[in-house]
Amino acid sequence: MASTQVNPTRMELTRLKKKRITAVRGHKLLKDKRDELMRQYLDLVRENMEVRKRVEAGILSANKNFVIAKAGMSEAELHTALLAPKQEINLVAGQRNVMSVDVPTFEYKTRTADENDIYSYGFAFTSSDLDGAVKSLADILPDMIRLAEIEKSCQLMAAEIEKTRRRVNALEHVIIPETEKNIKYITMKLDENERSTQIRLMKVKDMMLAEAHGY
Amino acid sequence: MYKIAVLGDYDSIYGFATLGLSICPVKTREEASDMFRQLAAGEKYGVIYVTESVAAQLGEEIEKYREQTFPAIIQIPGVSGNTGAGVENVKKTVEQAVGSDILFSAE
């Protein structure tokens, strides 16, 4: 017996059959989507880990350089040196569509054309360690932007994969079996009705024959 | 056209100012969450780098932006060292996508 009440009619049967076809097709499409997303995601997440490790190591060594630079100068001098940044970064953000997931793409433009234009101070009153520290930080900036792009993409794709997987499972294990059960129930019920009509007609015929000819 | 912001304690982030990123030094937890809300809600910033120690304090507020395309919130290690939260986050997305951490669990 079907868990939900269905009307055993021919119209309902046609409707359910259509529903089953749609569900099976949707299931196949979603499954393909999930597989392709997963393939791209796995490539991306490996790169994500790599870039992240590189950025973390880079920031760590840059921080070390800054500590050394700080040790060689007075705090006030350091603050003054870094007070007014010369460079400015503008981020041009776009969107890329990966299997219906909008992932961001980042490109950056520096305000001045020379990307080495990062020293916002005269070299006379600062220690040379500071130059090195600033440079080491500037070197990892492209990686950091790339990291932002990849990591965000990974997060978005992971969410989409989870959603798609749930949909695939719901179709595969709930919607499709239930529809098939209902279709079977209706077919059997209709057959049963047909048989009972047949028997009734035969019975009526027997009765009529007995009345007319005395069989 | 977006900008990039860096959120964290002053010692961890002052260097980024020279590169042209906006730095937002914060000291307390309240300051951090106020500042973060301002940065994330405005349309100005495409990427917000947050130091791991501050990110740990913000917790759920960062989670809210996980499913949005912008802004991207990325954790970076601070001056006090690497807590591993950033790597942990990547592992979490693998777990979410695959069901279990099949890629990096051996490390």
Q: Say yes or no for a CB contact (<8 Å) between A92 and B1.
A: yes
Which residue range is the domain that position A161 belongs to? 10-209
Tell which residue, B81, B66, B71, B107, has the closest CA to residue B9.
Answer: B81
Q: Say yes or no for a CB contact (<8 Å) between B3 and A53.
A: no
Name the pTM for this structure: 0.82
Size of interface A-B (CB pairs under 8 A): 141
Q: Say yes or no for a CB contact (<8 Å) between B86 and A38.
A: no
The total domain count for chain A is 1
The highest-level CATH class for domain B3-80 is alpha beta
- Buried b / exposed e across A111-132, counting CB within 10 Å, b at 16+? eeeeeeebbbbeeeebbebbbe
Tell which residue, B39, B55, B50, B51, has the closest CA to residue B3.
Answer: B39
Take residue A149 and report the two structure tokens written for it. 């792009």
Q: Is residue A215 part of a domain?
A: no
- Each of the 215 residues of chain A gets a pLDDT tens digit; together they read 445 678 889 999 999 999 999 999 999 999 999 999 999 999 999 998 889 888 888 888 888 888 888 887 777 777 777 777 777 778 888 888 888 888 888 888 777 666 666 677 777 777 777 777 888 888 888 888 899 889 889 989 999 999 999 999 999 999 999 999 999 999 999 999 999 999 999 999 999 999 888 76
**Residue A125 near residue A137, CB atoms below 8 Å:** no
This complex has an ipTM of: 0.85
Task: Provide, as residue numbers in chain B, all residues whose Cβ is less than 8 Å from the Cβ of A137.
Answer: 15-16, 18-19
Q: Is residue A2 part of a domain?
A: no
Q: Is residue A30 part of a domain?
A: yes
Instruction: Give the burial class of A31: count Cβ atoms within 10 A of its Cβ; 0-12 exposed, 13-18 middle, 19 or more buried.
Output: middle
Q: Is residue A4 part of a domain?
A: no
Q: Is residue A214 part of a domain?
A: no
CATH code of A176's domain: 1.10.287.3240
Q: Is residue A5 part of a domain?
A: no
